[in-house]
C-alpha cells in the first residue's frame, strides 16, 4: 500500500542538487533469496539465503526494478529474492 503523505512545490535547481547528492548515499539492503541453499556441499530446501548488500540509491532502485519484469517474448519473470530491510548508512 502506498500513499502520498506530503506535497509541496520545489525549485527545480534544488531538486536536481538533492537528487545528485542522494544518489551517492549508501544503503544496506537485506534480502531473502528463496531458492534452496547449499550447506556443507549439500543442497537443502530447508535453508535459504539471507543476503546483505551495500549499494547506492541508484543501484538500489535498479536492483528493485530488476526483481520483476517482462521478457522480450512477453512472459513475466520474478526473481526469488525479496527485500526485507533497507537502511541508510550514515
pLDDT in tens, 79-88: 878 899 999 9
Q: Are 83 and 61 in contact (CB under 8 A)?
A: no
**9 within some domain:** no
**6 within some domain:** no
C-alpha cell at 28: 544496506
- Domain of 55 in residue numbering reads as 18-89
pTM of the model: 0.67
**10 within some domain:** no
Q: Which residue is it, cell 512545490?
A: 9
**5 within some domain:** no
d(CA 29, CA 26): 10
For 16-63, the pLDDT digits (tens) are 998 888 877 899 999 998 876 667 777 777 778 899 999 988 888 888
Question: How many structural domains does the chain have?
Answer: 1
**33 within some domain:** yes
> Considering Cα of 87, then 28, then 79, then 66, what sign does the dihedral take?
positive
Instruction: Give the pLDDT confidence score for residue 25 in this predicted structure.
Output: 87
Amino acid at each position: 500500500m502506498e500513499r502520498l503523505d506530503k506535497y509541496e512545490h520545489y525549485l527545480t535547481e534544488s531538486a536536481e542538487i538533492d537528487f545528485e547528492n542522494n544518489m551517492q548515499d549508501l544503503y544496506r539492503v537485506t534480502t531473502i533469496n528463496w531458492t534452496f541453499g547449499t550447506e556443507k556441499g549439500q543442497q537443502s530446501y530447508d535453508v535459504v539465503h539471507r543476503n546483505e548488500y551495500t549499494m547506492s540509491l541508484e543501484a538500489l532502485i535498479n536492483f528493485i526494478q530488476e526483481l520483476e519484469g517482462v521478457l522480450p517474448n512477453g512472459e513475466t519473470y520474478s526473481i526469488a529474492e525479496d527485500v526485507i530491510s533497507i537502511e541508510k548508512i550514515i
